[in-house]
Amino acid sequence: MRSLTSAGAALRAVETDDLEEYPLSGQERLDSHYFIAWHHRRWLNSEMRLKATEECRALYFDLICIAQEQNPIGTLPADTEQLAKLLGVDQGRLQRLCEGSFGPLHKWRPCLCEGVVRLYHPMVLEVVTDAIARKHDNRARNEAGNAMKRRQRLRSAIAGYHVDLAANDAAILWMDEWLMEQGCGYRGASWIERAIGAWSDHQLHMHTRGGRQLS
Protein backbone atom coordinates (compact mmCIF):
# COMPACT_ATOMS: atom_id res chain seq x y z
CA MET A 1 0.00 0.00 0.00
CA ARG A 2 1.32 3.45 -0.95
CA SER A 3 0.68 6.88 0.51
CA LEU A 4 1.11 10.08 -1.48
CA THR A 5 2.19 12.02 1.57
CA SER A 6 5.41 11.58 3.50
CA ALA A 7 8.26 13.61 4.95
CA GLY A 8 11.82 13.99 3.81
CA ALA A 9 13.42 16.71 1.77
CA ALA A 10 9.87 17.11 0.44
CA LEU A 11 6.57 15.28 0.68
CA ARG A 12 6.54 12.23 -1.57
CA ALA A 13 4.99 8.77 -1.96
CA VAL A 14 6.07 6.02 0.45
CA GLU A 15 5.13 2.42 1.22
CA THR A 16 2.81 2.57 4.23
CA ASP A 17 3.44 -1.10 5.02
CA ASP A 18 6.95 -0.14 6.16
CA LEU A 19 5.92 2.79 8.34
CA GLU A 20 6.35 2.60 12.10
CA GLU A 21 3.32 2.99 14.38
CA TYR A 22 3.21 6.21 16.38
CA PRO A 23 3.47 5.23 20.08
CA LEU A 24 0.77 7.62 21.34
CA SER A 25 -2.93 7.15 20.66
CA GLY A 26 -5.48 9.80 19.85
CA GLN A 27 -7.02 9.22 23.29
CA GLU A 28 -4.01 10.73 25.05
CA ARG A 29 -4.75 14.32 26.08
CA LEU A 30 -2.73 17.17 27.55
CA ASP A 31 -5.45 19.72 28.23
CA SER A 32 -3.19 21.87 30.45
CA HIS A 33 -0.22 21.58 28.08
CA TYR A 34 0.25 25.34 27.67
CA PHE A 35 4.07 25.41 27.42
CA ILE A 36 6.85 23.34 25.82
CA ALA A 37 9.90 22.17 27.76
CA TRP A 38 12.27 23.53 25.12
CA HIS A 39 15.89 22.30 25.14
CA HIS A 40 17.41 25.62 24.15
CA ARG A 41 21.04 24.44 24.19
CA ARG A 42 20.22 21.57 21.84
CA TRP A 43 18.41 24.03 19.57
CA LEU A 44 21.16 26.66 19.60
CA ASN A 45 23.73 24.09 18.47
CA SER A 46 21.52 22.18 16.04
CA GLU A 47 22.17 22.00 12.30
CA MET A 48 18.64 23.24 11.66
CA ARG A 49 19.30 26.52 13.45
CA LEU A 50 22.83 26.96 12.08
CA LYS A 51 22.10 26.09 8.43
CA ALA A 52 18.43 26.90 7.78
CA THR A 53 17.16 30.27 6.60
CA GLU A 54 15.32 32.56 8.98
CA GLU A 55 12.01 31.76 7.28
CA CYS A 56 12.50 28.00 7.47
CA ARG A 57 13.51 28.23 11.12
CA ALA A 58 10.40 30.25 11.94
CA LEU A 59 8.06 27.83 10.12
CA TYR A 60 9.87 24.86 11.66
CA PHE A 61 9.26 26.19 15.16
CA ASP A 62 5.63 27.03 14.33
CA LEU A 63 5.08 23.41 13.24
CA ILE A 64 6.49 22.17 16.54
CA CYS A 65 3.98 24.36 18.39
CA ILE A 66 1.12 23.37 16.06
CA ALA A 67 1.89 19.67 16.68
CA GLN A 68 1.14 20.18 20.38
CA GLU A 69 -2.52 20.79 19.49
CA GLN A 70 -2.92 18.01 16.93
CA ASN A 71 -4.40 14.54 17.31
CA PRO A 72 -2.50 12.44 18.14
CA ILE A 73 -0.55 15.04 20.06
CA GLY A 74 2.92 15.66 18.63
CA THR A 75 2.01 14.82 15.02
CA LEU A 76 1.20 16.79 11.87
CA PRO A 77 -0.97 16.12 8.82
CA ALA A 78 1.06 14.50 6.04
CA ASP A 79 -0.33 16.93 3.48
CA THR A 80 1.18 20.26 2.37
CA GLU A 81 -2.23 21.85 1.74
CA GLN A 82 -3.28 21.31 5.35
CA LEU A 83 0.16 22.31 6.64
CA ALA A 84 0.10 25.51 4.58
CA LYS A 85 -3.30 26.43 6.05
CA LEU A 86 -2.10 25.71 9.57
CA LEU A 87 0.97 27.89 8.97
CA GLY A 88 -0.91 30.60 7.10
CA VAL A 89 1.44 30.50 4.10
CA ASP A 90 1.11 29.78 0.39
CA GLN A 91 1.13 26.04 -0.35
CA GLY A 92 3.44 26.37 -3.35
CA ARG A 93 5.96 28.35 -1.32
CA LEU A 94 5.85 25.81 1.49
CA GLN A 95 6.49 22.98 -0.98
CA ARG A 96 9.51 24.81 -2.42
CA LEU A 97 10.90 25.48 1.05
CA CYS A 98 10.47 21.79 1.95
CA GLU A 99 12.61 20.77 -1.02
CA GLY A 100 15.72 22.16 0.65
CA SER A 101 17.95 20.20 3.02
CA PHE A 102 16.87 22.32 6.00
CA GLY A 103 13.26 23.10 5.20
CA PRO A 104 10.36 23.51 7.66
CA LEU A 105 9.86 19.72 7.74
CA HIS A 106 13.48 18.92 8.57
CA LYS A 107 13.62 15.47 10.26
CA TRP A 108 9.84 15.10 10.35
CA ARG A 109 9.07 11.48 9.47
CA PRO A 110 5.98 9.62 8.25
CA CYS A 111 4.26 7.26 10.66
CA LEU A 112 0.99 5.43 11.07
CA CYS A 113 -1.54 6.76 13.57
CA GLU A 114 -4.24 4.10 13.87
CA GLY A 115 -4.04 3.46 10.14
CA VAL A 116 -3.67 7.11 9.08
CA VAL A 117 -0.36 8.43 7.73
CA ARG A 118 0.88 11.47 9.64
CA LEU A 119 4.22 13.09 10.41
CA TYR A 120 6.19 13.04 13.64
CA HIS A 121 9.54 14.39 14.83
CA PRO A 122 11.66 12.38 17.32
CA MET A 123 12.45 15.48 19.38
CA VAL A 124 8.79 16.54 19.50
CA LEU A 125 7.79 13.01 20.51
CA GLU A 126 10.38 13.14 23.31
CA VAL A 127 8.97 16.45 24.60
CA VAL A 128 5.37 15.22 24.44
CA THR A 129 6.20 11.86 26.07
CA ASP A 130 7.94 13.70 28.92
CA ALA A 131 4.91 15.98 29.38
CA ILE A 132 2.56 12.98 29.49
CA ALA A 133 4.79 11.25 32.05
CA ARG A 134 4.71 14.37 34.22
CA LYS A 135 0.92 14.49 33.90
CA HIS A 136 0.60 10.88 35.05
CA ASP A 137 3.02 11.49 37.94
CA ASN A 138 1.05 14.55 39.04
CA ARG A 139 -2.21 12.64 38.83
CA ALA A 140 -0.77 9.79 40.90
CA ARG A 141 0.49 12.24 43.53
CA ASN A 142 -2.86 14.04 43.63
CA GLU A 143 -4.77 10.77 43.94
CA ALA A 144 -2.47 9.59 46.72
CA GLY A 145 -2.87 12.89 48.54
CA ASN A 146 -6.65 12.83 48.15
CA ALA A 147 -6.80 9.25 49.43
CA MET A 148 -4.71 10.16 52.46
CA LYS A 149 -6.99 13.12 53.31
CA ARG A 150 -10.11 11.02 52.71
CA ARG A 151 -8.90 8.27 55.05
CA GLN A 152 -7.90 10.81 57.68
CA ARG A 153 -11.43 12.24 57.62
CA LEU A 154 -12.81 8.70 57.87
CA ARG A 155 -10.51 7.96 60.83
CA SER A 156 -11.77 11.07 62.63
CA ALA A 157 -15.37 10.08 61.96
CA ILE A 158 -14.80 6.50 63.18
CA ALA A 159 -13.15 7.85 66.34
CA GLY A 160 -16.51 9.32 67.31
CA TYR A 161 -17.88 5.78 67.47
CA HIS A 162 -14.92 3.64 68.47
CA VAL A 163 -11.48 5.02 69.37
CA ASP A 164 -9.68 1.67 69.12
CA LEU A 165 -11.21 0.95 65.73
CA ALA A 166 -10.08 4.38 64.48
CA ALA A 167 -6.50 3.43 65.40
CA ASN A 168 -6.69 0.24 63.30
CA ASP A 169 -5.01 1.10 59.97
CA ALA A 170 -6.21 -2.09 58.30
CA ALA A 171 -9.79 -1.36 59.31
CA ILE A 172 -9.63 2.23 58.02
CA LEU A 173 -8.19 1.09 54.69
CA TRP A 174 -10.83 -1.65 54.32
CA MET A 175 -13.75 0.63 55.18
CA ASP A 176 -12.45 3.35 52.87
CA GLU A 177 -12.30 0.89 49.96
CA TRP A 178 -15.72 -0.48 50.90
CA LEU A 179 -17.25 2.99 50.84
CA MET A 180 -15.63 3.66 47.46
CA GLU A 181 -17.06 0.42 46.06
CA GLN A 182 -20.52 1.39 47.31
CA GLY A 183 -20.30 4.66 45.38
CA CYS A 184 -20.67 6.70 48.53
CA GLY A 185 -20.34 10.41 47.76
CA TYR A 186 -21.01 12.08 51.09
CA ARG A 187 -19.85 10.07 54.08
CA GLY A 188 -22.52 11.03 56.56
CA ALA A 189 -23.32 9.28 59.82
CA SER A 190 -25.47 6.58 58.20
CA TRP A 191 -22.69 5.59 55.81
CA ILE A 192 -20.10 5.57 58.60
CA GLU A 193 -22.30 3.25 60.65
CA ARG A 194 -22.85 0.99 57.64
CA ALA A 195 -19.09 0.86 57.04
CA ILE A 196 -18.45 -0.13 60.66
CA GLY A 197 -21.10 -2.83 60.35
CA ALA A 198 -19.59 -4.10 57.09
CA TRP A 199 -16.16 -4.25 58.74
CA SER A 200 -17.59 -6.23 61.67
CA ASP A 201 -19.28 -8.67 59.28
CA HIS A 202 -16.01 -8.99 57.37
CA GLN A 203 -14.08 -9.76 60.54
CA LEU A 204 -16.69 -12.30 61.66
CA HIS A 205 -16.54 -13.99 58.27
CA MET A 206 -12.73 -14.13 58.40
CA HIS A 207 -12.75 -15.64 61.91
CA THR A 208 -15.44 -18.14 60.97
CA ARG A 209 -13.58 -19.25 57.86
CA GLY A 210 -10.35 -19.49 59.83
CA GLY A 211 -12.03 -21.68 62.44
CA ARG A 212 -13.37 -24.03 59.79
CA GLN A 213 -9.95 -24.42 58.24
CA LEU A 214 -8.46 -25.41 61.62
CA SER A 215 -11.20 -27.94 62.41
Cβ contacts of residue 105 below 8 Å, gap of 6+? 7, 8, 10, 11, 60, 63, 83, 98, 119
Task: Give the pLDDT score at 78.
Answer: 95
Task: Give the pLDDT score at 140.
Answer: 84
Task: Give the pLDDT score at 1.
Answer: 41
Distance CA 107, CA 119 (A): 10
Task: Give the pLDDT score at 211.
Answer: 58
Task: Give the pLDDT score at 125.
Answer: 93
Angle between helix 122-159 and 189-214 (nearest 10) = 90
Q: Where are the alpha helices (DSSP H) in 45-121?
A: 47-51, 54-67, 80-87, 91-98
What tens digit of pLDDT does each residue of 160-202 get? 999 999 999 999 999 999 999 999 889 999 999 999 999 999 9
Task: Give the pLDDT score at 5.
Answer: 42
Which helix H or strand E contains 3, and what residues bound it? Answer: strand 2-3
Task: Give the pLDDT score at 9.
Answer: 45
Cis-peptide into 77, omega within 30 deg: no
Task: Give the pLDDT score at 137.
Answer: 78
Cβ contacts of residue 100 below 8 Å, gap of 6+? 9, 56
- The tens-digit pLDDT sequence of the chain (215 residues) is 434 344 444 555 556 667 999 998 877 777 666 677 788 899 999 999 999 999 999 999 999 999 999 999 999 999 999 999 999 999 999 999 999 889 999 999 999 998 999 999 999 999 888 888 887 777 788 888 999 999 999 999 999 999 999 999 999 999 999 999 999 889 999 999 999 999 999 998 888 776 555 44
Domain boundaries, the chain: 2-120, 148-214
Q: What is the pTM of this model?
A: 0.63
